[in-house]
Amino acid sequence: MATVEELQTRVKQLEAELERERARNRTGPDGGGGRKKIDKMSSEVVDSNPYSRLMALKRMGIVDNYERIRDFTVAVVGVGGVGSVTAEMLTRCGIGKLLLFDYDKVELANMNRLFFQPHQAGLSKVQAAEITLRDINPDVEFETHNYNITTVDNFQHFMDRISHGHLRGDRPVDLVLSCVDNFEARMAINTACNELGQVWIESGVSENAVSGHIQVIKPGETACFACAPPLVVASGIDEKTLKREGVCAASLPTTMGIVAGFLVQNTLKYLLEFGSVTYYLGYNAMQDFFPSMAMKPNPNCDESYCRKLQTEYQEKLAAQPKEEVKEKEPEEVVHDVNDWGIELVAETTDEEFKAASHGHVPELVEGVHVAYVRPMTQEDDEGAAGLTVDDQESLEDLMAKMKSI
Amino acid sequence: MVDAATKKTLSNIPLLKTKAGPRDRDLWVQRLKEEYQALIQYVENNKKEDNDWFRLESNKEGTRWFGKCWHYQDLMKYEFEIEFDIPITFPTTAPEIAIPELEGKTAKMYRGGKICLTDHFKPLWGRNVPKFGIAHAMALGLGPWLAVEIPDLISKGLVQHKDDQQQS
């Protein structure tokens, strides 16, 4: 049996060892085996230049000014199957700064996806990601936040970092990328970005792992995430044959990698201004079907900031010369044939559709539908036990009453 | 969509009026009162029907909730601690009810012990914003989940009655 002193010595040894290992992770062996920081991107084609193939984009005339990538700051919210790969791609591209948000830890159950490694199990995802990414490219600046953005306290901090977290001083980040896996977090990002007028791109992979999407949201200009119920890319699978026994969600590294690829490709096109930015791109893995479209905002959106920005955007449009506006009109996508026999099925009864059809129904491309419809007229609450009434009891009284039942 | 019994339970829970989340200050206090009224009514209904199955309370701000739920099988009571936060997007999004002690025992759970709801729950909630509250989330979400998952966990030996635990 070891004495306390012996154990204390051992702990000290291990701490020193851990510190050496950490230092090695930060700078590489001998302080430079990853590599040293590079002040200026060079387009010189030599084996030792990590940016030569990226700068070749400039020489080939694809991107006007690739070096600008170092001036951009991107926030990645959710560092899981999609977010970690997204962050790695941006790191390898030489992005200026990344803000990473996630409250989760790395688990062995994540190993069917890319990026994280078994020895990182137990570390927070943001911390593990930062260590790996710094090693890949020490030129990138990182800021990590290990918390859940949907709670009241964290949400305010999240908004603050989005609006002040830029690499080049006290201003908003250039783009927010949503790589979260749940509706609540998406709605929280949507609320924050509407309030801040922040452009963001939403991404997602379905729980059956065989479809995904990305969607660019420019508050006021395109549909926000609350403008319509969640969109679903038809998977071509009869929902009734989908077995959900004993499982919550499936995932594939392929689908997640593809969606991360779409997301970062669109991000690069948006930031570096090349090609055309796709507003909505869906991916159906079963039939290799990729619907794309642009979605107008809902004038009756639940989010007041979305409605406010819509008005502002319309005023801005009206003030612009007409031709320019025409150019900006997103292309209409028309599908003549429906090879996959995709139709709208589900959860919604005829009456509900009827009720909803009084209000805003988004124009969607074939192969994409809303997960459900919301009634515009209040549903008849047949037999429901009436609305709660505001009697004289205070909140404290009610809390006490609940406790004493 | 939901079975007749659940429908009946639901129809006896008062609906809420105020669309307000925890960032809405005064309106949130109003919403919180409605939440408590609906919950008190629901628990009283349950007791009347001899189907009392949970207790809940919140912090002062009403942003963090915790309590207990229980399930009877073979005349034995199995009790579990429950907890959840009210997200800033509430009531547009439903609260995510969690039973941390069961995390890792069932695949029908997300990290942190959040229960995995059926495909029906979210559309139903979405169509009933802001009328549905925490009581409805309990009746439509946690209730059916316990009814399916707990017997399964007991049969697999993953959940043991407290008395048996002490013996072993």
How distant is the Cα of A383 from the closest Cα of chain B, in angstroms?
A: 6
- B1 band by pLDDT with thresholds 50, 70 and 90: low
Question: Looking at residue B22, what DSSP letter applies?
Answer: T
Question: For the CA atoms of chain B, what is the radius of gyration?
Answer: 16
Q: What is the pLDDT of residue A344?
A: 42
Closest-CA residue to A214 (of A249, A266, A175) = A266
- Closest residue in B to A148 (Cα) is B87
Model confidence at A68: pLDDT above 70: yes
**Inter-residue contact A282 to A233 (CB < 8 Å):** yes
Q: What is the residue-averaged pLDDT of chain B?
A: 90
With a cut of 80, say whether residue A326 has pLDDT above it.
no
User: b or e along A44-56 (b: 16 or more beta carbons within 10 Å of the residue's beta carbon)?
Assistant: eeeeeebbbebbe
User: Is the pLDDT reported for residue A371 higher than 50?
Assistant: yes
Q: Retrieve residue B55's tokens.
A: 């207790």
Contacts with A183 from chain B: Cβ below 8 Å: 93, 122
- Mean pLDDT for B143-166 is 86
Query: B142 is written with which tokens?
Result: 């946690």
pLDDT, one tens digit per residue, over B50-106 is 999 999 999 999 999 999 999 999 889 999 999 999 999 999 999 999 999 999 898
Question: What mean pLDDT value characterizes chain A?
Answer: 85
Indicate whether B156 pLDDT > 50.
Answer: yes
**Is the distance from CB of B126 to CB of B117 less than 8 angstroms?**
no
C-alpha distance from A150 to closest chain B C-alpha (Å): 5
Q: Is A237 part of the contact surface with chain B (CB cutoff 8 Å)?
A: no
Q: CA-to-CA distance for A181 and A249, rounded, in angstroms?
A: 10
The pLDDT score that the predictor gives to residue A338 is: 60
The three-state secondary structure class of B132 is: coil
The region of weakest confidence among A15-19, A66-70, B19-23 is A15-19
8 Å CB contact of A387 and B1:
no
Summary count for chain A: helices (H), strands (E): 11, 10
**Lowest-confidence segment of A65-79, A177-191, A239-253, A325-339 by average pLDDT:** A325-339
Kindly tell me if the per-residue pLDDT of A118 is higher than 60: yes
Q: How many angstroms separate the CA atoms of A192 and A186, rounded? A: 10
Q: Which residues of B134-160 are buried (b: 16+ CB within 10 A; e: fewer)?
A: bbbbbbbbbbbbbeebbeebbeeeebe
> A271 versus A20: which is more confidently predicted?
A271
- Segment A260-272 shows an average pLDDT of 98
Q: Assess A171–B contact: CB distance below 8 Å, yes or no.
A: no
In the prediction, which pLDDT does A358 show?
A: 45
Q: Shortest CB distance from A302 goes to which of B86, B92, B96?
A: B92
- Under 8 Å between Cβ of A244 and B119: yes
